[in-house]
A and B are shown apart, each in its own frame.
Chain A
Amino acid sequence: MQIFSGKNTINFMKLSLPAAVLSSVLVLGSFVTLAVNQLNWGLDFTGGTQIEIGYQDTANLDAIREQLAASEFNDAVVQNFGSSKDVLIRLASREGVKPSELGDKAIAVLKQADSSAEMRGSSYVSSSVGEELTEQGGLAMLVCLLCILVYVTLRFEWRFALGSVIALAHDVIITLGLFSILGLEFDLTVLAAVLAVIGYSLNDTIVVFDRIRENFRKIRNIEPTEVINTSLTQTLNRTTITSGTTLLVLFALFFLGGATIHGFATALLFGIFVGTYSSIYIASLVALKLGVSREDLMPTVIEKEGADQDAIM
């Protein structure tokens, strides 16, 4: 059984112009929505107090709002979380109450009103910690991209490195754009997912690059476009299957993993989808347009590779 026979080379690069236009539109669109709607930063980044309450039966959100308002928590944001029985409440800071005690107070109020209310979780993050985290998160992403740039340059060639990093940036920006336009909460686990997307998309890109390099060396007197088309066709089965199995488990996470990692699963699902597309079109296309050629990929690495394998097997 095989998805693609691989007998006929698919002319991927024929679609390079539409792909470039599509990606540009998506990236620009993401920038626009990030500028207009911004990201719905989660508690981890903004700081604040948040509590999760579980009820025995379906929670009456209006009643909860009233109960809280009666005790001066009138600006609390109350919403369902995961199921209709679970409620997530975000509290604004209040004069005269230590922020770290805010949650306890609200829980006490709700418990008094309905004894079936059960504290499922509560978080308090001071704004300074949130700011630090935002800084660290941005830094993590930059450092990550930079390290990859260096590694791929060393292992392959700078055109490939630039191609892969542009593809990664493309994936990250579009994933963030999705979160922005849908107004999904961007918390710490989503950040982890975005970084995992970087890792995954890169994995894909490297496999394609590896084949391109191999084909450049193996097949002589052939146009670079042709080489890339052949390589993409040859790796298409692998790309589809690996993305497929990863998407399978991510669907499992998405539907079974619970509310806490819903955002995480969403980011990965979407990111891997975009990542697969970008490693086919963006990464190779950039390398091609930068003028990658056979001569660039002919160092004496071949011998070394053989030596590697003997040692391991």
Chain B
Amino acid sequence: MVILVIGLCALYASPNLYGEDHAVQISAGRNAVVDAQLVERVKKELTQSNIESKSIVLENEQILVRVKDADTQLIAREKLGEALGENYYVAMNLAADTPRWLSALGGEPLKLGLDLRGGVHFLMEVDMKSALEKTIKDSDNDFRTALRTEDIRYRTVKQVEGGLEIYFRDQDTLEKAETFLKNRNRDFIFSEKADLVLFAAMSEQKLLETRDYAVKQNITIIRNRVNQLGVTEPIVQKQGPDRIVVQLPGIQDTAKAKEILNATATLEYREVDIEHDISDAIAGRIPPGSELLPDQNGVPQLLKKNIIVEGNHIIDATSGVDQNGMPKVSIKLDSKGGAKMLAFTKRAVGKPMAVVFIEYKATGERDEADKLIFEAKRTVISVARINGVFGNQFETTGLDSPKEAQNLALLLRAGALIAPIQIIEERTVGPSLGKENIKLGKEAIVAGFILVLAFMMVYYKKFGFVANIALALNLVMMIGIMSMIPGATLTLPGMAGIVLTVGMAVDANVLIFERIREEIAEGRSPQQAIHFGYDSAFSTILDANITTFIAGLILFAIGTGPIKGFSITLMIGIATSMFTAIIVTRTIVNAWWGGKRLTNLSI
């Protein structure tokens, strides 16, 4: 049992012994596929540029090209980036040099935290106030239109904190309006606030949805932009009700990263120009009032310059299936956008309409104020025939696949950013500091370890040697278990936790050995002393460790970032040290001294 547990931990700790390869990772952007063909293309590009690669592997829809050093990596990234164009993301990466059989078993080296690897961490907060305001504003317009169509006369509608106030001239109308609106808008709660004033507040459900939606929308957008940065293993996660954590390992130019993350994307509904011949336009005779824009496959489309509706009028876009089981995207506009759409579709039934997605991409150049210059990049993401007159709610059908529908919905949402975000915390660690931290951490662990080993050998002699074996195994087990837990990262405070555990792990053995000495002093035989020593020390060790574990658990529950890292190592260390210090040493002691007639003990 003991050997099995230790063997398993050692196996999973072993990937940490292998080094890391410099690598370039290629993943697909929108509408691109990574396949065997691309591997061939990459191979050809590399030979043309005289870049030697260690291996080129296609895995999880990504291509990993391993090269021999950092310089080659830089060149390879540049060349491949140029050759493959915008549809692919080419990023630099450090790929673990773990043997194939080990990674097949799920063995992976420890993930290093940002403080060790270098990189940038952002905590962003979604501006919920403006998200809610926008939702209320949309409802304002919506209510006005609805009441007017229903011929219910109101005096005015006011936007107030948390909802809308609708003023009426008489009680009858108010009641009529209340019944009508209650049935129509189930996501609002209506109440009579004062004489002739109806108050509409968003329901809890609606509030929750709005908040959730604002955060999700921002996450989608940030993910898209992070891809532009060419970072491997970025983290974009929701934290708490209105925050987003973004971690970009290995990024060096943080100013650039921030600008790209903060750039906006929008979209526009436009009319397709079918009055003019597109081949003429491609040949250079672009009719005035129209322009050529590429679609996602790079095929140009001739669109009118006039915008029907802009992206900021989009409230929601979701993908689903229509009654025939075909994929569709349902789009909801606010009332202003709905009115514009209605006016347009009235005169354009049967004509095609296009959606243009506008992204602002960094050109890599800077202006005088040292700001990155962004270039608007317009892409036609959908062209669809208008099948009837519609206003603020409509559907786009005729999509090829559910995946395409999902993509379109995602892009539509991304272009309709309703809640701005703000960076509230930022931490950057330069790569040199990261490397230094690793070096310092390792040195401290080794130094602390050797000091403790030496002390134990001198003080407890042969038993000290046994304790030292346990201590070494404890270190291996800690690293093994941390490598096994997905998502666990090693940070500098985590390393400090390891050092601290090394110092404290001997405690259990000290307790046991002191007990054995006491028993011997009381005149017991060595065998009995060992037996009693282990037995009576056990409950003490358990109590002492459980209380420390409680402290670790609370640290983990309440702390963030570096504190979490520290508490994880502390807790793992407590668990493994109890195993090694009690069970492992007992096994060794039994094997060494067990069943022998002893007159004295080397303790």
Contacts and interface: CB of A to CB of B under 8 A. Distances in A.
A221 interface: no
B428 interface: yes
Interface string B441-454: 10110011101100
B440 interface: yes
A152 B423 CA distance: 43
Contacts of A1: 458-459
Nearest to A150: B550
Contact of B570 (A125, A144, A196): A196
A257 B440 contact: yes
A248 B455 contact: yes
Q: Which of B458, B492, B534 has the most CB of A within 10 A?
A: B492
A54 B538 contact: no
B10 interface: no
B568 to A, nearest CB: 12
Contacts of A257: 440-441, 444, 496, 499
Given A143-B558, A203-B544, A234 B455 contact: no
Q: Which of B437, B544, B559, B567 has the most CB of A within 10 A?
A: B544
A249 B563 CA distance: 20
Given A126-B424, A139-B558, A199-B570, A256 B447 contact: yes
Contact of B551 (A202, A246, A252, A265): A202
Interface residues of A, number: 79
Interface string A282-309: 0000000000000000000000010011
A151 B549 CA distance: 12
A252 to B, nearest CB: 4
A151 to B, nearest CB: 6
Interface stretch (A9-17, A68-76, A174-182, A205-213): A205-213
B550 A144 contact: yes
B550 A148 contact: yes
B535 interface: yes
Instruction: Identify whether the interface residues of A are mostly helix, strand, loop, or mixed.
Output: helix
B29 interface: no
A282 to B, nearest CB: 16
Interface in B544-574: 544-548, 550-552, 554-555, 558-563, 566-567, 570
Contact of A120 (B432, B538, B551, B558): B432
Interface stretch (B78-86, B411-419, B502-510): B502-510
Contacts of A2: 517
Contacts of A195: 551, 554-555
A124 interface: yes
B493 interface: yes
B551 A196 contact: yes
Contacts of A238: 507, 510-511, 514
A253 interface: yes
Contact of B430 (A119, A192, A248, A249): A119
A78 interface: no
A260 B113 CA distance: 14
Given A120-B433, A241-B459, A192 B559 contact: yes
A199 B551 contact: yes
Given A120-B430, A129-B123, A192-B559, A151 B550 contact: yes
A151 B547 contact: yes
B500 A246 contact: yes
14 contacts: A120-B432, A121-B427, A122-B426, A123-B426, A123-B428, A140-B558, A151-B546, A195-B555, A196-B500, A210-B540, A234-B518, A241-B510, A250-B503, A252-B444
Complex A-B, nearest 5 residue pairs according to Cβ-Cβ distance, in ascending order: A249-B448, A199-B551, A249-B503, A246-B503, A252-B448
Interface of A: 1-2, 6-7, 52, 54, 100-101, 103-104, 108, 118-126, 128-129, 133, 136, 139-140, 143-144, 147-148, 151-152, 155, 188-189, 191-192, 195-196, 198-200, 202-204, 206-207, 210-211, 214, 234-235, 237-238, 241-242, 244-253, 256-258, 260-261, 264-265, 268, 305, 308-309, 312-313
